[in-house]
Structures are given as structure tokens and as C-alpha cells.
Chain A
Amino acid sequence: MNTFIMANPQKCIGCKACEIACAVAHLDVSVSTAGATALPFIPRMNLVRTPYITMPIQCRQCDDAPCANICAEGAIIHRNGINIVDDDKCIGCKKCMVACPFGMIDIRPKISNGELESQNGLRIQTAEGEQAKEVFVTYKCDLCSGRKGGPACIEVCPAGAFTTMDHSQIITDIRKKRLAAALDIANNQKK
């Protein structure tokens, strides 16, 4: 079973620090200050705000992943327990975006070596002549694969709102629920 990250809307204060930490963690250059980069900020999670709750939503790392199953290019692969996008294969067709039941796949400009990558063929026609067009690729949560210190969102959250949901954690929770259910039934029978 795939591990995923989930936030607790009861704890979330809606500060968006997770989105920022996520965007910074995935830039392939080191950026410390807000003014240091002209690159677009591309978080792989989104803080959802309603009048009642705030809560970041991110990829659930589906075990039967609609995004991967619909991808004609085979660009979403399963590696070390995480569903990961292969940027080189992705053509930005948006099928995964539509298929994701959580809405947590996005198509955004591709950044490599600290710069926006341009397409080889497709150009933009403008009044000032033809201009380079950026490469767009799929962005989704990769659990900060390879990052020292683990997922950046968990590390930065001032409210401790995130939990890593892994198999053993879910099994432990389920066992507790089964035990509670059994005791509940037994107690009711005594009455």
C-alpha cells in the first residue's frame, strides 16, 4: 500500500507555509529569500479555503492510480513506493489532470537548472515576431522523494497539521477500531 500525506483540517490554520515550502523544495536551485528568484512558484499541493475550514490537499498516491492508468506516454511510474512523473516522457496532454479524483495534478512550466525550459519546435506567434514557448509538464506530490529531512510540508507546518499515512499506521488504526467495535458489541450484549 502506498504511503501518502494527509492534513488535518481541525489543526490547519491556513497559513500556506506548506505551499511555499513545497514550491521551494522542488526548485532545482537553492532559494532563500522571496526576491531571490524570478522563477514561478509551483507548489504541488493547494491550500483549500472555505468559510468553515482550511486544509491543504495533495496527491493520495492512489494504489490503482487513474493518472498513471490513463497516461498514453507511460509518464507516471511507480518508484520506491511513490507515483512519480517522468518529466522527459510527459507531453502535457492533461489527461491525468482530468482523471485525478482529488484535483491535485497540475500542468505548469518545466524548470530545469534554474531556468524555464523552452520547446524545440512549437513557437508563439506575436506582433513582435515568434517567441519561444515553455515546456509544460505534470506536477504532483512526490513526497519530497530524496529530500533530506523528508517532506517539506510536514517539516514547515507550524500547526503540526500533517500526518504521514503509511501502511502500518493505517493497520494500527484499523485494529484499534476493530477492537473498539468488538468491545462495543460485547458490552451491548451484557446489557
Chain B
Amino acid sequence: MNRRKVRKFKAFWAWQDEKEEAWLRSMSQQGLHLTEPLAPIVYSFLEGEPRDLVYRLDYVQRMSGDERGRYLQLFQDSGWEHLGANGGWQYFRKPVEAGDAPEIFTDPESKVEKYKGLLAYMFILLPFFVMLVSRIGSRPPAYRALDVVIFILFLLYMYAFLRIAHRVRQLRRL
């Protein structure tokens, strides 16, 4: 069979990881399986037999080479295929057995830890944003468009922060 490579463009925000997982699963059910490499917004698929494959995303930033090897080994030991990473997001895949969609996080407490890691990383960007936003209006009029872009990015950043913090609160109530 001639296997075709298919490229799709789709944007998911940081708080939509579960939506992204569901989308990738539905693509596999249609016979389009995600391949490496992964770039933001760009998804590369290989055409094949339709299969029910579950995709799960973890968020891990900054890990030493050895530690990363042991982290990936644990997923491999338990039957997960690592497809690659994209800005800290780790993509894993596993076939569905006996109708149960497998999870990499099996209780709300550990899901909270994943999102707390994401929030902590986003927090690092806060001084950077505060600095950029504080300079809005102080540039020559020709740079007005740049001010608008910075302000929109800042709003998005704040919105992402609130959405993820809300998810943590929801999970804590479980």
C-alpha cells in the first residue's frame, strides 16, 4: 500500500491539551497517524489502516539527558510510544485495549501537578511581559502596531494563565 504523508494545520491553546488528544485520536480512527517531527500548529500524519490509538500529552520542561532517558523509559516500559516533544509538551501514544482509553495520569492529584508545572513555567515569563507592557505608549507613533501586538499577546498570556488555574481548581474539587 502506498503510504501518503498528510500535513494539517491546527491551533490548540495551552489549556486545550485534552481537546488536542481527542482530535489526534479521531484522526487515527480515520487512518491518519501522527508522526514526528512536531512543530507548533503543524501536524504531520502518515496514512494507514484506521486504528483506535489514544494520544496523551505530558508537560515537562528542562530535564537533564540522563533523567529524560529514564522518564521516557518508564513510559516505554508501560507500553507508551513517545512521538516527540514540542515546547515542553511530550506526545505519547498507546493502542486502546478492551475498550478502555489508557491514561498517563490516573488520579486528579497528579493531573494537578502537571498543570502546576505548566503554570510555574509560564510564571517565569511574567517579568518579561510586565516589562514589555510597561513600555506601551512610550514608543514613537510609528510603532503603534507593535504596541497592539504586545498588548494582545499579554491578554492571551493572562487568559491562558486563568484558564489553566481554573482547570487546577476543578481537578482539586474531584
**A, B: real partners:** no
List residues of A whose CB falls within 8 A of some B CB. Answer: none
Binding site for A on B (CB under 8 A): none
